[in-house]
Amino acid sequence: MSVASIAKVARCAALAAAVAFGGGAMAQPGPGPGPGYGMMGPGYGPGPHGPGFGWRFGPRYQDYYSGRQVARDKVEAAVRADLARATKGAQWTNPRGIAHIPLLVDGQIVGNLWRDANLTKLEIGSYWAGPFGQHVELVVNGEVVGMIWVKV
């Protein structure tokens, strides 16, 4: 091997170790638009790299996470309140044959069912934080049949 190829391998190994152990250039934030600039406009924080910004990118900049966990009882109360007011929209089927039934609250889509189910008999499954609220699984007899999104 030449000296140049050995140096290249060493740089790649150092970069991989830095990324794997949370250090190095890859873990540092890149240049942003500056302090006070919200990623989603005014009122949403100083930007993805500034202090106080609640939503951050997850591993390898693919997913969002909020940095906080919401108590399950609050999530369940919000889901039950929305489901009590929800109506089913018109069912449609995508080209792969999967049915979609939108859940509507005040004319706004707040969720989706993939199988027809009684809204009063839906159970609440797992939930997680997303950039616009909590994503909650809707379950019937242990099977996930849809999702609903709530702000808590």
Nearest residue to 71 (alpha-carbon basis) of 12, 152, 1: 152
What token pair was written down for 1?
Answer: 């091997």
pLDDT in tens, 88-125: 999 999 999 999 999 999 999 999 999 999 999 999 99
Q: What is the pLDDT of residue 79?
A: 96
3-state helix, strand, coil in the chain (%, to 5): 25, 30, 45
- Whether the per-residue pLDDT at 58 is higher than 80: the answer is no
Is pLDDT above 80 for 148? yes
Q: Which helix (H) or strand (E) holds 126?
A: strand 123-130
- Tell me the pLDDT tens digit for each residue of 28-47: 444 545 444 444 444 444 44
* 53 contact partners, CB below 8 Å, separation of at least 6: 39, 44, 45, 46, 47
Q: How confident is the model at residue 78 (pLDDT cuts 50, 70, 90)?
A: very high
* pLDDT attached to residue 129: 83
Q: Where do we find the tokens 């997850």?
A: 58
